A and B are shown apart, each in its own frame.
Chain A
Amino acid sequence: MRGIWIIYKKEMLEFTRSSKWIWLPIVFTLIGIMQPITSYYMPQILDAAGNMPEGTIIKIPTPSGAEVLLKTLSQYSTIGILLIVISAMGSISNEKNTGSITSTMVRPVSYFTFFISKWFAQVTIISASIGIGYGLTWYYTNLLFSDVSFKNFIESCVIYFIYVLFIISVTMCFGSVFRKNGAIVGSSFLLITALAIVNGIFEKQMKWSPSNLMNQVGSILMDNKYLDTLALNLTSSLLMIFGIIFVSIFTLQKQEL
């Protein structure tokens, strides 16, 4: 326990030193609030573009607040995933590549401690960044569009958070297997995107998949209710996360420094 806290603190200090605590929240915020703001000003933007024939009446249906928030989350599950993967990719592999991992592992520290403290650190900074970005987006959405209740906002946020845990775990698992960042990003992004695409095609058979959590989020925001497979979806996603963490630690233990 003590070891986890010590390594966690070190990771946090590194995030501060490398300005990650600044750029990651900013990027998530920008991606988030772009949605309500561009949607709101869309008519003016088109107007200013000005190459419409005289007399054209631009009529764009005003989206609901829920629709705007959902669009943000769908951004978060495309560009957002890439950001998460980029943030977490080097966590394990960089230490293996430089050899700095030795200075930790030559102390009485287990690979479980080593991995899990880094995992928690990634979870902290990524979920804080997304929390800030998504929170501000919710604020602007309520300001400019119809209200989304606080309850729906929090619930969609929590479900999305489980999906984020899955992405972090997958990336760090590939980070334990591979050394090259290209290989880590490639395989993580490929796996997660493939899962999402398969999910889109075989929706019925994929109720258990972590990528199906995005459908749950949509249902909460748009219809104000969960899909009836929520329990299965959450349980299987959490089990998969535990499994991936287990595999990562096992892989690290097998490798020799």
Chain B
Amino acid sequence: MLKLHDLSKVFGSQTAVKNFNYNINLDAHEKSCIALLGPNGAGKTTTLKMLTGLIKPTSGTIVSDQMNGDLRNYIGYLPQYPSYYDWMSANEFLFYVGELSGLNKNILKTRISEVLHSVGLKDVGRKRIGNYSGGMKQRLGIAQAIIHKPKLLILDEPVSALDPIGRREVMDLLNKLKKETTIIYSTHVLHDAEEISDEILIMNKGEIIETGSLKSLKLKYQKPIIYIQSDNKIGNWINELSYIKEVKRESDNSVTITIEDEPESRTRLLEDLIRNNIEISKFVVGESTLEEMFFKVVQ
């Protein structure tokens, strides 16, 4: 378990992250893939950098019962804007970072070909990094992050800068990797979070606003929405109904309401509309989604 306790980070007068509490499970048999989802500026990069030790929290602690000494021995990190030495070949670069992580030469040689194979760069290991495409660089970034078999893989927006093909390649790779190690990755695209994560952490303005498994979050935000338009005025009595969660007034004659997710709610609403002499011209039933919830957050 890696415990992030009350992490905060303040840059000058700007609070980038505040009161971040979360436990990451690192047990071999309970590996999880966590998506850190939030709009730009939410504090994702700052949070991940605190995890890597590249920046120090203004307050709060990161402790683990399974990692002793330098935490950097146990983590692999792919920065949001990675930069490697363009004059090196992938082989040389992986050798360099592998040695820094304490691997010995002989182990490294086999490990490098293993890793290059798994990220699909086996044939271009001798090529200069400067000649790599964006997708190849990103896969090399993942290769350097896993070279020392970290317990925790931290990826900052691993697919955001890629074209659809590169994105597909990296997503497939992550899907494979999540069987071997715990992954935490950030993204500002809900779809990227949904695709491979077991657990989603939604951040906004430096704070966690929602956590849970994809399934539970979907369920939580899946609420029937009903749009009603009438020929006469809809009075404020509608706000008082017990089974209604939220009323959004579009005009005098139209409202969008969110109701309790129970079968009888809809019937009760219709009955109430008739009792109040509403001349219904439109009654549209839809569903709210996690997407809408996230969209609201982003705005």
Contact = CB atoms under 8 A, between A and B. Distances in A.
Q: Do A and B come from one complex?
A: yes
A108 B96 CA distance: 13
3 closest cross-chain pairs (CB), A and B: A107-B100, A99-B83, A256-B55
Contacts of A104: 97, 100
Given A6-B99, A108-B73, A257-B49, A103 B144 contact: yes
Contacts of A99: 79, 81-83
Nearest to B74: A108
Contacts of B87: 14, 17-18
A106 B54 contact: yes
Contacts of A2: 99, 102
A3 interface: yes
Interface in B74-119: 75, 77, 79, 81-85, 87-88, 92-93, 96-97, 99-102
Interface string A92-133: 000000111011111111000000000000000000000000
Given A103-B97, A257-B55, A108 B70 contact: yes
11 contacts: A3-B100, A7-B100, A10-B96, A14-B85, A100-B85, A102-B79, A103-B82, A106-B75, A108-B101, A257-B49, A257-B54
A106 B99 contact: no
Interface centre among B53, B55, B83 (most CB of A within 10 A): B83
Contacts of B85: 10, 14, 100
A232 interface: no
B167 interface: no
B72 interface: yes
A103 B97 CA distance: 7
Contacts of B70: 108
Interface of A: 2-3, 6-7, 10, 13-14, 17-18, 98-100, 102-109, 256-257
A104 B85 CA distance: 11
Given A99-B79, A102-B79, A108 B54 contact: no
Given A99-B83, A257-B54, A106 B73 contact: no
B52 interface: yes
B218 interface: no
Contact of B100 (A17, A102, A109, A257): A109
A256 B52 CA distance: 12
B56 interface: yes
B54 A100 contact: no
Given A6-B96, A256-B56, A257-B55, A107 B83 contact: no
B81 A107 contact: no
Contacts of B83: 98-100, 102-103
A202 to B, nearest CB: 42
A107 B101 contact: yes
B20 to A, nearest CB: 17
Given A102-B79, A105-B54, 6 more contacts: A6-B99, A102-B82, A103-B82, A106-B52, A108-B101, A109-B100
A162 B100 CA distance: 31
Contacts of A10: 85, 96
A109 B73 CA distance: 10
B72 A107 contact: yes
Q: Output the residue of A2, A3, A17, A102 with the most chain B CB within 10 A.
A: A102
Given A13-B92, A99-B81, A108 B72 contact: yes
Nearest to B80: A99
B84 A103 contact: yes
Contacts of B79: 99, 102
Contacts of A108: 70, 72-73, 100-102
Interface string B135-167: 000000000100000000000000000000000
Contacts of B56: 256
A100 B84 contact: yes
A8 B294 CA distance: 48
Contact of B77 (A6, A100, A106, A109): A106
A37 B180 CA distance: 68
Nearest to A101: B83
Query: Most chain-B CB neighbours within 10 Å: which of A2, A104, A105?
Result: A105
Nearest to A256: B55
B52 to A, nearest CB: 5
Contacts of A109: 100
Nearest to B101: A107
A106 B81 contact: no
